[in-house]
Amino acid sequence: GALPAPDTAALGRLLRTALGQGAPGAMARIDDHPTAWNDHAVVHKVTEGTADRRTGEAMSTADRFRIGSVTKTFTAVVLLQLAAEGKVRLDTSVNHYLPGLLPDDRITVRHVLSHRSGLYDYTNDMFAHTVSGFEAVRTKVFTYRDLVARSLKHARTHAPGAVYAYSNTNFVVAGMLVEKLTGHSVRTEYENRVIKPLKLTDTFYVHPDTRIPGRHAHGYLTPDEAKAGLVDATDQTVSWAQSAGALISSVRDLDTFLSALLGGRLLPPAQLAEMERWIPAGTAQAYGLGLRRRDLSCGVSVYGHTGAVQGFYTYAFASKDGRRSLSAVVNTSNNGAVHLTMLRTLESAFCGKKAK
Ligand SMILES: CC1(C)S[C@@H]2[C@H](NC(=O)CCCC[C@H](NC(=O)C[NH3+])C(=O)[O-])C(=O)N2[C@H]1C(=O)[O-]
């Protein structure tokens, strides 16, 4: 049934709370298609604070930013399109396509896309110390195999398929699968299969370039030591993440992307159904294939992904039919209070005044 109207006043209050908790700026954009998702959208925009602490420039929904693990949903869409084309089978071993890559033939493509491979997350070591870990890699260029090798230095966390255990390594392997199956870079595949068809003119995969193209927000990393100042983390290769987290986009493009995905414009029904085969992933949360489900206080479930990359937290979710999508970003990270506040924007956007 129809969703309650978004509570944009509450949304504004939440963004101002995030600023009070240490974020320089924050913004949210809602595309609302009250009757059918492909009719003219009603767009709600809320912005607070600054996109650039040096100039004081106000945050704008025209600003591009790094979307972190929302990239995983784009990568999953590419692989699921390849599955629809018969070029990959979800329940086949990764090693069938990438011989000798993984130490266990039982790990399948589906295990990788649903974080059930058991592959250790190499970023646990990389970012144990937030600022020094970031500074050590921010200009580095890694190969996919460098990153997988870092993971394989550790024992696997569990047997393949046993449980959900989030690991960036999975979507590095997913990127390797895309490149092996197509003979193209993931950049080419994102562009040809998602960015161009949906006209996402603010969305880029520029790895290993360190700059965010055009008009963009600066992102500020919160150090572990509370008293230390914010670190401008805007320029980095994001080579530590690549197909697991290196895309750049805008709140407008993410709204378009999620509405199209949930509205059935990116995948055939069979593959969208595969993407939405849920396994438990925390309280009121589930994970499918590169897609999160969050169950809100008003009984509405929303579908999308969150992202945490140095300097930016991103929240991109849509209703089941794609008629309403919310994309929000705050230009700080490593700040748990800000993260919890920003998660509440989903309640205001989809539960409206019924939000708890
Ligand atoms: C599961 C998550 C939250 S973490 C995962 C991925 N981001 C990373 O793995 C980077 C983690 C380090 C980020 C850094 N934190 C530290 O260095 C802490 N010592 C910061 O906050 O800037 C992403 O994005 N995902 C989020 C997701 O999927 O929502």
- Is the separation of the CB atoms in 303 and 262 below 8 Å? yes
Q: How confident is the model at residue 123 (pLDDT cuts 50, 70, 90)?
A: very high
User: From ligand 1's centre to the CA of 69, what distance in Å?
Assistant: 8
pLDDT, tens digit, 9 for 90 and up, residues 285-302: 999 999 999 999 999 999
Q: Please tell me the distance from the alpha carbon of residue 42 to that of residue 38, in angstroms, as a whole number.
A: 11
- Is the separation of the CB atoms in 284 and 294 below 8 Å? yes
Average pLDDT over residues 42-58: 98
- Nearest CA to 38 among 258, 259, 266, 317? 259
Tell me which H or E stretch contains 32: strand 25-32
93 is catalytic: no
Binding site membership of 71 for ligand 1 (Cβ less than 6 Å): no
User: From ligand 1's centre to the CA of 34, what distance in Å?
Assistant: 34
Is the alpha carbon torsion for 315, 319, 321, 324 positive or negative? negative
Q: Does position 2 have pLDDT exceeding 90, yes or no?
A: no
pLDDT, tens digit, 9 for 90 and up, residues 302-346: 999 999 999 999 999 999 999 999 999 999 999 999 999 999 999
Binding site membership of 36 for ligand 1 (Cβ less than 6 Å): no
User: From ligand 1's centre to the CA of 60, what distance in Å?
Assistant: 24
Catalytically annotated residue among 69, 167, 239, 319: 69
What is the secondary structure of 280-304 as a DSSP string? E-STTEEE-SS-EEEE-TTS-EEEE
Q: How confident is the model at residue 34 (pLDDT cuts 50, 70, 90)?
A: confident
Q: Does position 351 have pLDDT exceeding 70, yes or no?
A: yes
pLDDT at 227: 87
Q: Please tell me the distance from the alpha carbon of residue 303 to that of residue 286, in angstroms, as a whole number.
A: 10
Tell me which H or E stretch contains 325: strand 324-330
Q: How confident is the model at residue 79 (pLDDT cuts 50, 70, 90)?
A: very high
Q: Does position 100 have pLDDT exceeding 90, yes or no?
A: yes
pLDDT at 354: 86
- Is the separation of the CB atoms in 64 and 212 below 8 Å? yes
Of all residues in the chain, what percent carry a pLDDT higher than 70?
99
Binding site membership of 170 for ligand 1 (Cβ less than 6 Å): no
* Prediction pTM value: 0.98
Average pLDDT over residues 247-275: 98
Q: Supply the mean pLDDT for the chain.
A: 97
pLDDT at 41: 81
Q: Does position 159 have pLDDT exceeding 70, yes or no?
A: yes
User: From ligand 1's centre to the CA of 67, what distance in Å?
Assistant: 11
Q: Which of 164, 224, 310, 314 to mutate to test the pocket of ligand 1 (most atoms within 8 A of CB)?
A: 310
pLDDT, tens digit, 9 for 90 and up, residues 13-24: 999 999 999 999
Average pLDDT over residues 45-73: 98
Q: How confident is the model at residue 38 (pLDDT cuts 50, 70, 90)?
A: low
Q: Please tell me the distance from the alpha carbon of residue 352 to that of residue 356, in angstroms, as a whole number.
A: 9
pLDDT at 226: 76
pLDDT, tens digit, 9 for 90 and up, residues 134-144: 999 999 999 99
Binding site membership of 221 for ligand 1 (Cβ less than 6 Å): yes
Q: Are strands 301-309 and 25-32 parallel, antiparallel or unpaired?
A: unpaired
pLDDT, tens digit, 9 for 90 and up, residues 170-194: 999 999 999 999 999 999 999 999 9
Q: How confident is the model at residue 37 (pLDDT cuts 50, 70, 90)?
A: low
pLDDT at 356: 79
Q: Please tell me the distance from the alpha carbon of residue 289 to that of residue 276, in angstroms, as a whole number.
A: 7
pLDDT at 334: 98
Of all residues in the chain, what percent carry a pLDDT higher than 90?
95
